Each structure stands twice: as structure tokens, then as C-alpha cells.
Structure 1
């Protein structure tokens, strides 16, 4: 019996965020720019917008001291927009899909946007459960969701593998709960110093799963 489970991040772990069509979000970024102009200069705004393509919203806003109340109206875009994305998983996702371990998806982002990504990627059925942490609604740490997974599924932390690109988010949360953490170093991802293992694609997971099998 295989008691191992895998918790996965979405953005730049399962698919490359840079492949999203930026024109789909023109209206949102135009509105966001208008909101930010109240307290931020053009250089700061450019940095914020560029970083939002590669970093979680909560990370970017905290880094640049963006007040959520200042920009909330811009996020109304995601309540009504019909978001159609032409995106695909990384090619090595097929290996992840083929292995028997139970998988959970835990992603941070605007709920309707993350749902649109998941739908476009056609990966809904690959996971036991999917959790979306929307920082505009409830900016809780991933560790709280990880605890929920442990409790609801009666899992051992020592047999849970957390795989993601962000050392300050899912990797830190996994370490806090004594899970096995794996940072995936996709293109342009900066290597952290706090993961138990480092891989470049999902195929490299096999040896890690094998040596940690109880």
C-alpha cells in the first residue's frame, strides 16, 4: 500500500505563467494602474505589474506596501470577466499524472482566475482536493491548508511531499509542519536554501519518492 501524498503548487510548478496571453488582462491592469497612481510613482507601478506575472499577489503587495483597500475596485474585473486561457501544463506533467500517489493542489491567487487556469489546463480530475487561497478574501498561510489536509485525510507529515517553486510560501509551510519539501526550479526560478530536495522537472521526483518510501 502506498501511503505517500503530494501537495502541489500551480503557477510555475504545473504550468508556466509566462504563457498566459497578457491581452486578456489589459482591462484589469489598466484599472490597477489607476488605483496605484494614488500612492505610487510610475517606476513602482511598473515593478508591481511586472512582478505580478511571476510572483503571488500577497508577496508583491507586501513587498511594495500596497494597501488592499486602495486596489480592491480593480479586482472587480475577475468577478465578471469571462477568462478564456490558452495554456498547457509543462510536458513533464504527464509523469506526475501517471504516478499513484494521492495528490492535492494548493494555490494562491484570485479565485476565479485560478479556477480559469485549472479549467484551461484540464487537470481538475488529477487531484483528490483543490484549495484556492484568495488573498483578497482570506490571506491565510498555506500551512493552515496543509494542516487541514493532514487532519481530513489522516496523513503522516513524514509521508507528504510538498512540491512548488516558492521557498517563502509552500516550501516554508511544508518545513514548518515537518513535511518533505521539494523546490522545483523551473526557468528563471531562484533556488532557495530551505528545501529538502531540488528538482528541475517532475520526472526527477521518482528517486525522491523511492528513497522516502516507508
Structure 2
């Protein structure tokens, strides 16, 4: 559902060249001061951002970070299945999917046994990103606090509480958002799904669904949730992210959000190049 027929449609052909933003841009510790937000001319009243592969490359935490969880899962695989190459190939693909999709969803879609799932969850609950890991946001992430100066912004991510919070804290992103919410998968019954989380944000803040913009990479997570609630969805085509026709619009960089939101034709350049 598109809030306005005048909104720019930021699409690109599926086969077009994907632009990979460089990383390592200095992080803004605090968003620019805004004494009063004027949203009268904006196309939306709020933005909900995903984190992994939207604001930062999930793999930048280090390839070895998830290995304890993968080893725990592998430890519950039977000897018979370990000797089965097709089964092990499928398991390798499942581990690769963990960089883009929450572990519980991966476990379900790849037919993990209960023991494999439980072992993986237990290991993941203790994993955290360290400051010395070299973890960094995408270079264009500096635009998020600038957008926040004009309108409410929310960060909603799915995963393990310690892991997701450590990512945000290492990057210093908490001040960029009105709320940071983790849809937890590490506690039974704690995960409600992003649709429920999005609906709760709208209800508590009095937003209209069609005036909320959802920005993310995953078509079966935040894009699906936003669509089902009648929000406007934008897929960010980061490296290794596959184009999905489910999103209302597609962008290569966050700079393309600037005109989509109604903030002007061109996004501001970073303060330090």
C-alpha cells in the first residue's frame, strides 16, 4: 500500500549493477539536536529499520563468532547423517543462512531436530560482539540519525538478546532511535514476530499504518510484516541480498530514502569523508 501516488518509486532492474557501500565511516555518537520535528511536508510519520544487512553487514562480526553455535548443532547430528554428503551440504547452507535469518527460522526451514535446535540456541545465548572485532556499519548509516532528527525512528531486530544488543552498543547506535526492540528467540514464548512488534509500535504511538515506512533486507521478515500491516516497505539491496518483488520499493543506499521520505532531492554528504 503506497501512502501517496506522488511518492518516488525507487526500483532497479533485478539484473542491474548493485552498488556496495564502503564501510568504516566514523559513527555519530549522538543524533543532531532537534527541538521540534516538523512532519507536515513528509510522506511518512515514522521509519522502522531492520539492523542486520540493512545498517551493518552481519558477517562483519567475524566469521568465527558463530562457530561455537554451529559446533553445538553439529554435535547433535548422528554419525549416519554426518556420513551423508547431501545432508551435510544442506547443513552447511543452513549455517550460511544464519547470517541473514534468525536462527529459529533457519532451524525450522532446514528441519533441525529438537536437540540440534536447543543446542544451537544455548550456544547463541552466550555469543556477543566485542569492540575489538572490527564490526562497523555500512558507510551510509550516518544518515539514520539525520533522518531521526526529522521524524521518529525505531530499530527492530530478531535474534538473541545479548548478541543483538552487543551489536548496537559496539556501534553506538542507541541514540539514533526512539526505541530499540529485539524480538527475542532465546526465551520460550518471548518471540512474537515482527508483525506483532510493528503493530504494537503503531498502537502505542498513534501512527497510521500507511504512514509508517519499513526499511530492511529480508522479504520473509520485516518486508512481509510491513506489507501485512499496510505499511510502505523498502528493500535495501545490500551485497548478497536477493531482489524481492514483495517490497513496495527498492534502494541500493540509504541516501535514496531521503527523497522517498520527502526530505529533499539529495541526502547530505557525511561530515567526514
Asked if these proteins are the same fold (TM beyond 0.5), I'd say: yes
Instruction: Say what the alpha-carbon RMSD is for the aligned residues.
Output: 2.1
Deviations 1:156-187 (A, max 9, x none): 11211000001111111111111111111111
Kept after mapping to 2: 8 A contact 1:109/1:134:
yes
Over alpha carbons, which structure has the higher Rg? 2
Deviations 1:112-134 (A, max 9, x none): 11111111111011111111112
Q: 2:68 is matched with which residue? A: 27
Unaligned 5+ segments in structure 2 are: 1-37, 82-86, 264-273
**Which structure is higher in RCO with an 8 Å CA cutoff and minimum separation 6?**
2
Superposition pairs of residues 8-19 of structure 1, within 5 angstroms:
8-19=49-60
Q: Does 1:89 align with 2:137?
A: yes
Superposition pairs of residues 1-214 of structure 1, within 5 angstroms:
1-2=38-39, 4-37=45-78, 40=81, 41-81=87-127, 83-84=129-130, 85-99=133-147, 100-137=150-187, 138-210=190-262
Please report the TM-score for the alignment, with normalisation by the length of structure 2: 0.71
What count of residue pairs does the alignment treat as equivalent? 211
Higher helix share: 1
Deviations 1:82-133 (A, max 9, x none): 5414311111111222122211011011111111111111101111111111
